[in-house]
């Protein structure tokens, strides 16, 4: 088994065993962004004479005679593109909750009336997808080759209907230095190739807010040194401690000066160290950056976990939300960066 496949399965394990469904009480809207306006990938070209060209993170170039209008995307990509003014025909991946409300990964998408080809892992309505006569399918990728949430068993059939594009969203052996600005730049490049107006008020205001939040986080980390932050996710049986080097946002937060806990026994997949609840207090931390996705358990569902309730950061009520599968747009990420900055600025050392 290759390391990239192991990493893919590692992420899948966290996704499918993350915990009970339910709306999180913490801020869950997060994406990535770039603290500069310069793209960092192979790039695409903005529509010129109606043509479309984009080189994805597999190194594959998609060239079409016209800009695709019938776009199908993983919900997180669709949410990011929406923030830049590009709409999708249909989505797949966690989009709606059991009560019909939007999943955190849907971002600001209006899920009512949105065509959802599959809402859970392994779901993808191939017949409905074919009926849409799709012109382009887009998803993220954790390994630079596999399209996230496109079921392996039906991938060949699905990918026969239209060209596909993959956007890398996690550091890999080939790109260990990938950070959140790199990923957001690629989403921005794709949005521009699909016709987005990056000079619109909507985009420029979001970018300005994101840049301000970035500097706020940098200042907060500098002004309150020594605050240890633990990125984590809670499930019924396990407490996952994430390693910053495998997440573009966490790796970037470190570059901004945030002191993140580094687990010392990361699993083979490379994303986290799974701890039994008896050992959930293995690492000292002043702030918990807790996965707020709907597949992860939230504090009100962890009151029966003594090792959690006794954590210094928990007793001090120093918990802030984190989406470990971010929406990579300026608009989606700015609020979380602001919240993290405030959490660090007001935190006291308790570990």
Q: The CATH number of 44-197 is which of 3.10.129.10, 3.40.50.880, 3.40.50.1980, 3.40.50.2300?
A: 3.40.50.1980
Per-residue model confidence (pLDDT) at position 138: 98
What are the 10-residue block averages of pLDDT along the chain, 351 residues in total? 47 52 36 38 50 96 97 98 98 95 94 95 97 98 95 97 97 93 95 97 97 97 98 97 96 97 92 97 98 93 97 98 92 93 98 92
Every domain of the chain and the residues it spans: 25-31+207-346, 44-197
Q: Between 330-346 and 75-83, two packed helices, what is the crossing angle to 10 degrees?
A: 90
Residue whose structure tokens are 């950056």: 289
Cα–Cα distance between 14 and 24 in angstroms, integer?
A: 17
**Domain 25-31+207-346 identical in fold to domain 44-197:** yes
What are 333's two structure tokens?
A: 């990420």
pLDDT of residue 37: 39
pLDDT at 20: 37
Options 3.10.110.10, 3.40.390.30, 3.40.50.1980, 3.65.10.10; CATH of 25-31+207-346: 3.40.50.1980
Q: What is the pTM of this model?
A: 0.87
Q: How many Å apart are CA 125 and CA 95, to the nearest integer?
A: 14
Structure tokens at 210: 């994101």
Residue partners of 70: CB distance under 8 A and separation at least 6: 89, 132, 133, 134, 135, 136
Residue 297: count of CB within 10 angstroms of its CB: 21
128 vs 97: CA distance, rounded Å: 21
Contact 180, 329 (CB under 8 A): no
Q: Are 323 and 291 in contact (CB under 8 A)?
A: yes
Rounded to whole angstroms, how far apart are CA atoms 191 and 52? Answer: 11
Q: Quick one: pLDDT at residue 10?
A: 58
């Amino acid at each position: 088994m290759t390391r990239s496949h192991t990493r893919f399965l590692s992420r899948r394990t966290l996704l499918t065993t993350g915990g009970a469904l339910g709306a999180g009480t913490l801020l869950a809207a997060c994406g990535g962004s770039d603290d500069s306006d310069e793209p960092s990938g192979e790039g695409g070209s903005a529509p010129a004479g109606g043509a479309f060209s984009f080189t994805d993170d597999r190194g594959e170039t998609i060239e079409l005679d016209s800009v695709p209008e019938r776009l199908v995307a993983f919900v997180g990509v669709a949410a990011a593109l929406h923030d830049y003014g590009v709409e999708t025909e249909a989505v797949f991946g966690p989009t709606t909750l059991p009560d019909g409300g939007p999943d955190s990964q849907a971002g600001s998408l209006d899920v009512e009336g949105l065509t959802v080809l599959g809402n859970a892992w392994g779901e993808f309505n191939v017949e409905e997808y074919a009926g849409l006569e799709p012109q382009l399918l887009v998803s993220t990728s954790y390994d630079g080759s596999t399209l996230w949430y496109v079921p392996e068993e039906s991938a060949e059939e699905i990918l026969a209907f239209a060209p596909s594009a993959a956007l890398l969203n996690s550091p890999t052996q080939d790109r260990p230095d990938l950070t959140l600005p790199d990923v957001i730049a690629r989403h921005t490049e794709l949005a521009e190739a699909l016709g987005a107006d990056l000079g619109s008020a909507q985009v420029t205001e979001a970018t300005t807010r994101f840049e301000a939040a970035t500097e706020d986080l940098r200042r907060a980390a500098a002004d309150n040194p020594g605050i240890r932050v633990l990125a984590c996710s809670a499930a019924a049986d396990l407490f996952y401690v994430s390693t910053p080097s495998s997440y573009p946002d966490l790796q970037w937060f470190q570059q901004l000066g945030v002191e993140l806990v580094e687990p010392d026994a990361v699993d083979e997949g490379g994303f986290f160290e799974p701890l039994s609840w008896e050992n959930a207090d293995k690492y000292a931390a002043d702030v918990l950056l807790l996965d707020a996705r709907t597949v992860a358990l939230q504090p009100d569902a962890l009151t029966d976990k003594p090792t959690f309730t006794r954590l210094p950061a928990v007793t001090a009520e120093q918990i802030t939300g984190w989406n470990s599968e971010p929406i990579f747009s300026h608009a989606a990420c700015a609020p979380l960066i602001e919240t993290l900055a405030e959490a660090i600025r007001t935190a006291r050392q308790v570990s």
